[in-house]
Amino acid sequence: MHKRLVKKLLFNRKAVFLHDLLWVPIALYAAFWFRFDLKPIPDAATRTFLQLLIGAIPAYIISYWAVGQYRGMWRFASLADLVRILQSVALATLLIMVGYFQYDRLAGIPRTVIFLFPVLVVCGLSAPRLLYRFIKDNGLLPRACNGGRTLVVGAGQGGELLLRDLLRHPQYKPVALVDDNPGKQGRELHGVRVQGGLADIRHLVDALDVDLVVIAIPSAPQRLFKQVAGICSEIGVECRTLPAIADLHDQDVAVSQLRPLTLEDLLGREPVQLDKKSIAGYLRGKPVLVTGAGGSIGSELCRQVAAQQPARLIIFDHGEFNIYTIDHELRNTFPDLEIITVLGDVKNHERVDWVFRKFRPLVIFHAAAYKHVPMIELNPAEGVSNNIIGSRIVADAADRYKAEAFVFVSTDKAVNPANVMGTTKRIAEIYCQNLAKRSTTRYITTRFGNVLGSAGSVVPLFEQQIREGGPLTVTHKDITRYFMTIPEAVSLILQAGAMGEGGEIFVLDMGEPVRIRDLAEQMIRLSGLTPGRDIDIVYTGLRPGEKLFEEIFHERENLRGTRHPKLFLAGSRPVEWQWLTDELAELQGAATSRNVDKLIGHLRRIVPEYQGSHGGESAEATTPHLKVV
């Protein structure tokens, strides 16, 4: 393979060299011909022509190779190639003129020829190169193979750039574009007509025998993805798209960047606009601690915080493999950043105190938590120990060592909680809110719903079930949840940290809730399968502690807007501090002794709206093969 490629390149260079050399006599003869008004060249001038040709050919051979004229490729002829042509012609002309001046002082050579000859050589060398590139760029040459018939959605800049690249690849054959802008319909891009809008996709796919639909709008809104994906799923045609503008990283739009639609495309929202200056203001140049750094939210927090150039980043997690993974990634991505990796448990007071005493973090993002609802229902003591006592230990350390800001990552399950997990997060919220009134540290809570693709969430479960051939298990046909992407959630956490003055609960705008049944059907379709035919969906019934729908704020929290359109502020509900600390002490004792009944009683006293029916006996009755511990 390698030898054949070398031979092909050598052959191409020889052919180009012969082409360029042939233009020397052609241009010289044309110069004499023009000099004599397109009439036969006189015999005396013919002798001069032959004398010039004998000297011109070696002069041009020398100049072609001296300036490196054959480094470029005709397929990608550019300004650099034209500059090399001008340089080679100028050098050859100089050699010819100097040689013939020494020979006979240029006697007998028409001055018109001296001018026209190099101009015609430049034209002869440049025009074929530019014409070849124009033909290839516009797909005017016959294709080597019959490519997949492609319909491009979007006739804007992204569509134009992608279409230009599609025409260069024989595996694609663009047959039409669609765009909802009436001003673009009926017009052409690179010879391909804009034949209608999104509503015409079904008809065009059938009429033009389309194999592939490509969404060429990097800034496309969610509704467009949903509409096109739904149409393609119904008519059974493959659909691909370009990355979002934020993911292009200033690269040109190209065929190589096409990818299948993802769940983020269908459920994602408009890009979050951040006040980057305020975020950088409280992170840059400061030591930052992230607990739960190996988790889905924690690891993304590490990435986005690291990009803000902190003085050092302390990553803390109890999972050895998780923290190793994010440590390895961060060191490769941010080689100049001081990264301190701490393996430890937030429930370990001595370990947490050592971290604060040793590294003095000024900003803390507390993302360490147990979050799997059914698992915490079965292990309520561990949920309390980690989510409440562990959070209290880290929050108290932030106060003790005079940190500037403590950002607590909470959940929508803390609102009118129906399970132990949500209740533990709500109590941690209450503690941080009330501690803020007694500390110089800014305690800020952020609350949001599910994130797509996080560990333990429904999306990885559905992906595994699809790989296994189904069925997909949904607890209830009407159950809904809020979803957002991990980067979006973390960006808003950072923004809340910049905006908070202490004691607030920032509620992230989660958009519209998603019905889990619809989510399951979308994931099946994205896998190229049909729900109910290729993979079934079965309903298993609500699990212990599970609600049909989640809420993002309590009715008494008086939700109000902030200066950021995707962040809302929930009013705090103060409690008597001594009473709260006494209750937490009793709660910790119940968790340590594994007294579940007493533990649940304290949860209800601290969070009266806790709606769960938890108890050792009832939980065991619901799941007889498991035991509450």
pLDDT band of 252, cuts 50, 70, 90: low
pLDDT of residue 351: 97
pLDDT band at 72 (very low <50, low <70, confident <90, very high): low
- What is the DSSP pairing of strand 450-451 with strand 483-484? parallel
Q: Which residue has the tokens 């409440």?
A: 388
Q: Quick one: pLDDT at residue 278?
A: 81
Of 33-47, 143-157, 347-361, 543-557, where does mean pLDDT reach its minimum? Answer: 543-557
Residue 270 banded pLDDT, cuts 50, 70, 90 = low
Catalytic residue among 371, 413, 425, 566: 413
Determine if residue 106 is left, alpha or beta; phi over 0 gives left, psi from -120 to 50 gives alpha, anything else beta.
left
**Angstrom distances, CA of residue 229 to CA of 100, 196, 212:** 72, 17, 12
Dist. CA 544–CA 603, nearest whole Å: 17
pLDDT band at 273 (very low <50, low <70, confident <90, very high): low
Res 576: pLDDT: 92
Each residue's pLDDT tens digit, 422-478: 999 999 999 999 999 999 999 999 988 777 766 656 777 888 888 888 888 988 888
pLDDT tens-place string over residues 476-522? 888 877 677 788 888 889 988 888 888 888 887 766 777 888 888 87
Higher-confidence residue: 513 or 227?
Answer: 227
* Contact criterion met (CB below 8 Å) for 503 and 441: no
Q: Which residue from 261, 333, 272 is spatially nearest to 485, judged by alpha carbons?
A: 272
The pLDDT score that the predictor gives to residue 8 is 45
CA distance 431 to 503: 10
**Domains identified in the chain and CATH numbers:** 2-137 (no CATH), 148-261 (3.40.50.720), 283-450+483-509+552-620 (3.40.50.720)
Work out the pLDDT band at 321, boundaries 50, 70, 90.
very high
Query: How many whole angstroms from its chain centre is CA 538?
Result: 33
Is 413 a known active-site residue?
Answer: yes
pLDDT confidence band for 162 (50 / 70 / 90): confident
pLDDT at 10: 41
Is a pLDDT exceeding 50 seen at residue 590?
A: yes
Mean pLDDT of the chain: 82
Average pLDDT on 183-208 reads 88
pLDDT score of 369: 94
Mean pLDDT of 144-149: 64
pLDDT greater than 80 at residue 244: no
Q: Where are the beta strands (DSSP E) in 426-481?
A: 442-447, 450-451, 472-474, 480-481
Least confident of 194-203, 387-396, 557-566: 557-566
Residues 240 and 165: their CA atoms lie apart, in Å, by: 15
**406-418 pLDDT, tens digit each:** 999 998 888 888 8
* Residue 222 confidence (pLDDT) above 90: no
Q: How far is CA 342 from CA 235, 325, 353, 358, in A?
A: 53, 13, 12, 11
pLDDT (0 to 100) of residue 621: 33
Determine the Cα–Cα distance for residues 163 and 153; give it in Å rounded to an integer.
10
